[in-house]
Amino acid sequence: MRIISGEAKGRRLFAPEGSQTRPTSDKIRGSMFNILGTRVLDARVLDLFGGTGALALEALSRGAASAVIVDAARAAIQVIERNARATVKEDYDARVRILKADYRNAISQVGGAVFDLVFLDPPYRMTEAYGDALTRLGAAALLAKDCTIVMERVRAVEAPVPEAFEIYDTRFYGETAVDFVKLRG
C-alpha cells in the first residue's frame, strides 16, 4: 500500500497486524480521489475510522489543509502515527491530529471544527455506524455546507443515510461499494 499521488506519492504505508483493520485498496482509493478531484484542495478532513490513515494521508498528500484521523484501536493509532510522520513532512503539528477514540467520542472531542471532507469506513459489521455517525456529525454542526462524505461499505449491505443527507453517487468495485454523500438542500 502506497500514497498514490501528490507530494508524498510513492511513500509506503503500513497496516496493523491481524485482521481487525481492512485497508482501502490502492485501486479503490485512487478511484475515490479521482472522483473527488479538486474538492480535496485546502479541505479540512475527518477520517472517523482511520485504520492505517491512508484516506486522510492521501488527502493531505493531494493538498488538503489538515486532517483529524480517528481510531479506537491502539495498534491502529500506532500505525497511523508512523504513516503520518512518514507522509506529512512540513507543518505536521498544524496539519495532523490523531485521536484514539471511538467515533462517537471523537465527534464530541473535535467540537468547534468544521470539515469539508469526511471519510466513513467502519468495520463492515458496524452497519449502524454510518447513519449514527452522520446524525452525530450533523447535530454537532461539524460539516461545512458543501461537505462531501465518502462512505466505503460492503456492496451487499446498504448504508443507512439520515434524511438530512443524500447519496449523490455510488461506485462499485467487486464486493465493495463507495457512496458519495452530501447534505440535502
CATH number for the domain formed by residue range(s) 26-183 = 3.40.50.150
| Greatest alpha-carbon span in the chain | 43
3-class secondary-structure state, position 179: strand
pLDDT for res 15: 85
Q: What pTM was computed for the model?
A: 0.94
Residue 94 has phi, psi (to 5 degrees) of: -85, -25
Number of neighbouring beta carbons within 10 Å of residue 102: 16
Q: What is the dihedral of CA 47, 51, 53, 54, to 10 degrees?
A: -100
pLDDT for res 160: 87
Question: What are the residue boundaries of the structural domains of the chain, listed by start?
Answer: 26-183
- Tell me if 49 sits within 8 A of 73, measured CB to CB: no
Q: Residue with C-alpha cell 497511523?
A: 80
Q: What is the mean pLDDT of each run of 10 residues along the chain (185 residues)?
A: 91 78 81 96 97 96 97 94 92 95 94 93 88 95 97 92 96 96 92
Distance between CA atoms of 15 and 17, rounded to whole angstroms?
A: 6
